[in-house]
A and B are shown apart, each in its own frame.
Chain A
Amino acid sequence: MNWATIFLKDMLLFQRRLLRLGYVLSTLFAPLLYLVAFGLGLGKSVAIPGGLSYLDFLLPGLVAMSSMTNSYTWVANSLNMGRLYFRTFQIYLQTPVSPWEIVVGQTLAGIVRGLFASSVILGLGLILGSQLHFTAVFVLGMVFNGLVFAAFGVVVGLKTKSHEDSATFTNFFILPMAFFCGTFFPVDTLPGWAQHLIYILPLTHTNRLLRAPAWCLDSLVSLLLLAAAAGLCLALSILFIRRYSE
């Protein structure tokens, strides 16, 4: 049950940080800005196929984006800083903790963090008048999205050699996904070659799940692809910890 200890410790640290107003605001500032500026401002002049209001189109995308950035950033930064600066990660390596327990504890903490951030965005969107319908697919999509990006955060947190490296991963992997995977506009408005490229990125499938009206074959395919991406990241994380050597 060492994964639970690692998870509990991260939750306690998260709770302490939540009590700092500046920390919460800075974490949620970007998606809130997008929600207000695009959802309420620009959105009035944008037409979405199917007659959906732009706010109703945008909200699931922002929920997915917040879940992605928060799950990923929490885990990648906490591992990176814990490994290179505070040296708290080394505690796990020098105590009777298995690599999989470290990965599970860290990933669960990332998922919770992502769910918290996306729930705040979701609540605000509903207050602003979104008519979003919740389905089981929506909830599963949020959880799997957190899982994929928290697990990716573990991989990045273990492999980066400095804090700047972490920013590089964010700029090359996370930021493009936020803009091109269907957060702000439908993916099918892009050229065919770009759609093929975007199809392999996990956030595309989260957006498909969060916007699916009900279970269908496409949802199942998206869920399986997210599970495969998460499985790959988790397996890599365990391998990297097994081979960890300073």
Chain B
Amino acid sequence: MIAITNLSKYYGTIPALDNLTLEIGAGEVFGLLGPNGAGKTTTIKILTTLTFTTRGAARIAGCDVVRDRPRLKPLIAVCPQEINLDRELTAFENLWFYGRLFQVPDISRRIMELLEWAQLESRAHDRVKGFSGGLQRRLLIARALMSRPRVLFLDEPTVGLDPQIRRQLWDMIRQLKADGITILLTTHYIEEAESLCGRVGVLNKGRLIALDSPQNLTARVGGYVVESVDGARRSYTLVKDREAACARAQEETDGVLIRQANLEDVFIQLTGERLSQ
């Protein structure tokens, strides 16, 4: 569904995205994982026609993202990182104006369907400026679905939300996956990528440094982590299995924590840095 070939984007001489090559299948939920400034949002901006490329090409459902924009735009929808709803308009009006841009048929019915899906039907005629961050995020996803897109881009969909609201949004994203929509989501939350994505691409400083399922990526660096604390210093040792972890832990004299490896460990192993930096 999405084919990216040698895609690069430079701002002056600074590479925001460097030679990215990637394929995402139809119906897949694919995660781009990386710290701030890794190139995740730049990738989404290029794929959603907001930014031109410096080099390389990308196609979505066979449409080139630069040359076939009129054919491409009806197929895609995006939930940007910044909530770009019209705050002075109601939830209904936000969806109505957006739907009109796609010539959505039977628009009022579609709006009510989506407001119900996002559990916002009781707030349909309230102005968005009175909504909490979580409600606005839900409305943003509902708006993106107005046109029944084949590909949905979610740029940091749960950033800044409390854990309970985050889990509500994850349930919504899982429903979209069940409906067969291809989803490309960016995140720097490990749990989010592991919980939602079939495959993950790890970006660092504009380069793709790993690409696989979360399970395979963590297995590749070792299935378990032994964390030992020495004063203020915390060290990590990646080991293959539980037995090896126990053996390693017995060598330590201070506090030790044994846990399963996660994508953060993959990132540390590959870059020497933490994702949250």
Contacts and interface: CB of A to CB of B under 8 A. Distances in A.
Interface of A: 2, 5, 8-9, 12-13, 16-17, 86-88, 90-98, 245-246
Contacts of B12: none
Contacts of A96: 70, 73-74, 101-102
Given A87-B80, A246-B50, A94 B88 contact: no
A5 B101 contact: yes
B101 A2 contact: yes
Given A13-B89, A96-B70, A245 B51 contact: yes
Nearest to A243: B52
B93 A95 contact: no
Contacts of A87: 80, 82, 84
A12 B48 contact: no
Contacts of A5: 97, 100-101
B21 interface: no
B215 to A, nearest CB: 33
B97 A86 contact: no
Contact of B49 (A8, A12, A86, A94): A94
Contacts of B100: 2, 5
Contacts of A90: 50, 80, 84
Given A8-B97, A91-B101, A94-B73, 5 more contacts: A87-B84, A88-B86, A94-B49, A95-B73, A245-B52
Contacts of A91: 84, 98, 101
Nearest to B146: A95
Contacts, number: 59
A232 B112 CA distance: 43
A119 to B, nearest CB: 24
Contacts of A9: 86, 89, 97
B238 interface: no
Contacts of A88: 84-86
A12 B78 CA distance: 24
B177 interface: no
B45 interface: yes
Contact of B102 (A13, A17, A93, A95): A95
Contacts of A12: 89, 93
11 contacts: A5-B100, A9-B89, A16-B88, A17-B88, A90-B50, A91-B101, A94-B49, A95-B73, A96-B70, A245-B50, A246-B51
Given A13-B88, A13-B89, A86-B84, A93 B50 contact: yes
B172 to A, nearest CB: 20
Nearest to B100: A5
A94 B151 CA distance: 13
A16 B93 CA distance: 13
